[in-house]
Structure 1
């Protein structure tokens, strides 16, 4: 049975200021697929998603929609809401009908309070809205919304706060809670893993992987892609191509594709050389035979045989040129080699009995000690709020400990990459920021900027006007010239596309100095780290002497304790019981129906209690 087509795009074209961003974009997405929209930064992935949602118009092409827009669910990193919308209101608004009814009831309740309940029209209207809200199980929807918020570790103390005041990670989790509650048939997710800690990321992977509907998403997280995508849709300025499988399979297919093209191109070039040599030879034979024949008609006729052979070879050459295999133009790549000053000592930095806390806040670190040596590549892991960025600021000298002592070797030179990128001067152009360096010439600066993917006129852009990905590359320029022997990197690849991330990883892997890294990019940890520091809120820091891959495998294969196994078993029994109750038909009498409803609510509450225990 053929799966239903959810979305079908044909020959889409989008321009910005008269310049084509992409054109000839055609694809289909079938029900149940999990499709990654893939491409370098600037190819128009977010623009394409916005166009598919009807937020902007395409210059050319058409889109077929197999679902009504009410059946779509969208996670948008740039989403703006009304200033006063709270977290709980945002999630409840996932059901427009119920949110509208609830808002109407609240307005009518305010009016009745003002009039002391004497407004009969308002009383009648409130009663109608209330009956409709009950009929549509509005209170059940509220309970479900609260459950989804708790499931994503958003505590009730946050629910009344304005959505717009939340951190990036909290906003993402609130949007995910709204989608989890509604379960739309099509999910459209733009960078869903941004700002998420590892536990939430693992939960999101499993949720997307097992989602019963269809998923179209953009992500630069290769581990997330590998565990979720069923196919990759590669967007380019001239169209898009579909590749089955996830990121690893996509890379393998691209490499095979390139090798095949290179082989065909080489074969054609050899064939072309042979044809050109034959054409030259037949042309020479004809010229010599024609000259020798003079006015002898028999010899002149005989010499024309070489002409027909010459024309046949020329026709073969034309066919070869017409079907010529062109090698794909290599996209510009970041070209970066990080160098460090020679360091012959042992310890670059020593933290001894350190305490660290926010102003007036709880202790993030207490009696903490750490030594960073030449060759150490330390990845700092832990949930958001555990103090990872604060520790990096401490090591980089951007924050001071509340207790203990930090010692730097006299020859230690630190370069710090801050995820906020606030250390960049927004008023300077990219070129001017480089020309500030002693001895830097225009020619040398332009060459270096080309290596960092800033060609031609781009070098005159103000840093304040750059995209986040471009600002990241400017920040790496500072590391390039720093000649530091200790790099302290806080989310260095957050806003980079996958190709640029891989170039950065190569540079960091070859870097001779010490590294301390905080990142949500698990591929980066796998490629670079040889030590791990595990931080947790309210927990003692732990060190893991090994690679991220070894740690991750150990965590995934951890055996549950007997108590955890018992809780898991009880949870499964409760869920089976709830499924049985929910599948029962209405008994017919009001008393029996009420008894069934009460039993369902009791089982739901028991499940909620078990979730809190786990």
Structure 2
């Protein structure tokens, strides 16, 4: 039974079409993921379905009253007096209003204001109403939800606006958890959540008894929760069964079928055009030769009838013809690294770090970063991941031990706050500051990063977060760094752009230090992990993120393992260079090179077996 029926809705923004003719149904119990690029109108669609934003045309039939809907809104901006606890309590509006009235009346009674008998009567009446609504039971349920979402109790009564992004998301999820609305609308529910909370959210959404319609750029979350994917396109939408992986497979089949149909129609078009040309020639020849000959005139008329039939067939084909398959514009980026001859780019020895007056975040931390390393830094929010990256990038100085960069190391740093951007500069001017950069070259590069001719003159401070991310990657593109330190580089990017970034990072010739909540990215990139936990000092895990999930998480790298990892990296680098080297001219030198390659391969196999 459809809980929501949408028929041919359209929306414009500042006179430009956002989407047109969207039609779909949402069945009771379904978990549908809205999929589309940044700017496709996903958030606007959610708000329009709630009735908060009007559509230009179309109809929305709601099988449930809006009061039984629940919304997680990343752009929520409540008043200054709103706290996390109060946000959750207001999930039951009537009980929340009575609680405020009880607190106000109780305060007046304590201060002795007004006629005490009347105040007592009002207080008693409000108290009875609160009991009737099970207000205290609702308070207990709200506090239980806050605990389930791991929101620290010390922030429950702080202003909502002062909370971190992750804490705001947890507060809103707590409100929904306590209310259990029959229809959930979730706008980026995975933003800023750590791995443990993400896993809890996946289980909760997967087992939710109601219906869920959500937006997410987290591919693993979509895979594990969605029963269908609704792709938003400028001219409509299309539903695909299953999660993200099934969606991609179905899109690949669709693309192949579209390409095959286009080729068949092109062949048919050429045949019709050739037939029309032949019939036109025959008609002209027959018409000239016919003169007053009745037989030839009759034959000429047959040719012209066939000509008109072929022309009609061509017109019909052109009207129904499949458009030439073209990929939508994608970010085009390849990261290059500067020259580097040594094995190790960065080394920390017994490093320590603490903010002034605070307890140590790092103690006795040793790490070697080699070329081609892909090190993922994982841990709960607040465990110090960003601080560790700043320390390794040289932005913060250690309070003990050493953090040493090789003299040839060039660091490219990407901060999730994007504070390294000059907000007062235009995108084009930020490029023209580079040596020998011309306006033509700058415009070409901006096009590769999905910025239009008009975008070039926008102030960086006026851009969306996704656009600012692309500008930040422009800086990395020209930095020729051989060590990239990336703090949440894909947070505000859509999935298509994330996948381009992922491919660029895979082929990057330098080393990476990466903090990300994108588990798809982490699984595909990282080959080693640094694990941070509150109350414990960092430890290293000698494997991928998938291996970390499947193995003993308590494993810590010993000095011997670290030494073996260092040796393995150097040997692999040495082997790569020997294989790529030019063939020696003399037979003796060539034999020596082959023997060295064999020796390196044997040693690499030994180390990998031990690992």
Corresponding residue for residue 96 of structure 2? 99
Alignment partner of 1:284 is 2:252: no
Q: Match for 1:533 among 523, 530, 535? A: 530
State the secondary structure of the residue aligned to 1:325: coil
State the secondary structure of the residue aligned to 1:128: helix
- Rounded to whole Å, the distance in 1 between the matches of 2:293 and 2:156 is 104
Superposition map of 1:223-242 within 5 A: 223-242=220-239
- Rounded to whole Å, the distance in 2 between the matches of 1:224 and 1:298 is 76
Measure how far apart 1:328 and its partner are: 4.6
- Rounded to whole Å, the distance in 2 between the matches of 1:208 and 1:314 is 56
Contact 1:279 1:310 in 2 (8 A): yes
Corresponding residue for residue 550 of structure 1? 547
Contact 1:190 1:218 in 2 (8 A): yes
Q: Deviations over 1:516-548 (max 9, x none)?
A: 100000111122111111111122422222222
Measure how far apart 1:79 and its partner are: 0.8
Corresponding residue for residue 262 of structure 1? 259
Alignment partner of 1:68 is 2:65: yes
Q: CA RMSD in A?
A: 1.6
- Rounded to whole Å, the distance in 2 between the matches of 1:62 and 1:359 is 59
Corresponding residue for residue 440 of structure 1? 437
Aligned residue pair count: 554
- Rounded to whole Å, the distance in 2 between the matches of 1:502 and 1:336 is 11
Corresponding residue for residue 19 of structure 1? 16
State the secondary structure of the residue aligned to 1:535: strand
Contact 1:372 1:514 in 2 (8 A): yes
Contact 1:419 1:491 in 2 (8 A): yes
Corresponding residue for residue 318 of structure 1? 315
- Rounded to whole Å, the distance in 2 between the matches of 1:462 and 1:116 is 56
- Rounded to whole Å, the distance in 1 between the matches of 2:58 and 2:272 is 43
Corresponding residue for residue 421 of structure 1? 418
User: Using a 3 Å threshold, how does the CA distance of structure 1 residues 555 and 151 change in structure 2: closer, same or farther?
Assistant: farther
Alignment partner of 1:273 is 2:270: yes
User: Using a 3 Å threshold, how does the CA distance of structure 1 residues 129 and 412 change in structure 2: closer, same or farther?
Assistant: same
- Rounded to whole Å, the distance in 1 between the matches of 2:79 and 2:534 is 32
Q: Match for 1:162 among 140, 146, 159? A: 159
Alignment partner of 1:194 is 2:223: no
Corresponding residue for residue 502 of structure 1? 499
Contact 2:372 2:510 in 1 (8 A): yes
Superposition map of 1:367-516 within 5 A: 367-516=364-513
Measure how far apart 1:118 and its partner are: 4.8
Corresponding residue for residue 302 of structure 2? 305
Q: Deviations over 1:372-397 (max 9, x none)?
A: 00010101111111111111101111
Contact 1:117 1:123 in 2 (8 A): no
Measure how far apart 1:479 and its partner are: 0.4
Contact 1:112 1:118 in 2 (8 A): no
Corresponding residue for residue 222 of structure 1? 219
Superposition map of 1:144-159 within 5 A: 144-159=141-156
Corresponding residue for residue 44 of structure 2? 47
Alignment partner of 1:171 is 2:168: yes
- Rounded to whole Å, the distance in 2 between the matches of 1:72 and 1:361 is 44
Of 144-153 and 502-511, the range deviating more from structure 2: 144-153
Q: Match for 2:180 among 178, 183, 188? A: 183
Measure how far apart 1:176 and its partner are: 0.9
Contact 1:394 1:400 in 2 (8 A): yes
Measure how far apart 1:296 and its partner are: 2.4
Contact 1:531 1:545 in 2 (8 A): yes
State the secondary structure of the residue aligned to 1:541: strand
Corresponding residue for residue 27 of structure 2? 30
Q: Deviations over 1:315-335 (max 9, x none)?
A: 222222222111354321000
- Rounded to whole Å, the distance in 2 between the matches of 1:433 and 1:54 is 41
- Rounded to whole Å, the distance in 2 between the matches of 1:84 and 1:359 is 31
User: Using a 3 Å threshold, how does the CA distance of structure 1 residues 440 and 337 change in structure 2: closer, same or farther?
Assistant: same
Corresponding residue for residue 594 of structure 1? none
Q: Deviations over 1:279-333 (max 9, x none)?
A: 2222222323333334322233233332222222222222222221113543210
Of 329-338 and 507-516, the range deviating more from structure 2: 329-338
Structure 2 unmatched runs, 5+: 556-611
Corresponding residue for residue 207 of structure 2? 210
Corresponding residue for residue 10 of structure 1? 7
State the secondary structure of the residue aligned to 1:412: coil
Of 498-507 and 119-128, the range deviating more from structure 2: 119-128
Measure how far apart 1:15 and its partner are: 1.6
Contact 1:13 1:58 in 2 (8 A): yes
Alignment partner of 1:296 is 2:298: no
Q: TM (normalized to structure 1)?
A: 0.88
Measure how far apart 1:452 and its partner are: 0.3
Corresponding residue for residue 87 of structure 1? 84
- Rounded to whole Å, the distance in 2 between the matches of 1:485 and 1:161 is 43
- Rounded to whole Å, the distance in 2 between the matches of 1:280 and 1:160 is 81
Structure 1 unmatched runs, 5+: 559-614
